[in-house]
Structure 1
């Protein structure tokens, strides 16, 4: 079974050496879809770090992402 959540970038920090870390929180409002996601995923946090500039440019505060959680088969 796959579980889908919807998260929004809350902040991005950059550290020495080029590491950028994005912090994402579940969406809470702004559209009927967001309100439906919030109904089932009211809290949480994801932090992603990357030194790849091409990846980091996608994570800007306010941008929203679908996140799919799929089990890995052994």
Structure 2
């Protein structure tokens, strides 16, 4: 193989030089509160997750509308 990008003796040099930074943990929401929020969004308000103008949301809106000629 003609040439290699840097010698293997220098592998991992930059990663070993960078200081270790501890990640701050993000607390998860309480499941009861999270489930209640999801319930209100999905069932009560009938909002679907994701982008409002996505193909799935448009299909769901059409399915929820009454068909032409039906009451």
Report the TM-score when normalising by structure 1. Answer: 0.16
Q: Identify, as 1 or 2, the structure richer in helix.
A: 2
Higher strand share: 1
Q: Tell me: higher relative CO, structure 1 or 2? Use CA pairs within 8 A at least 6 residues apart.
A: 1
Question: Which structure has the larger Rg?
Answer: 2
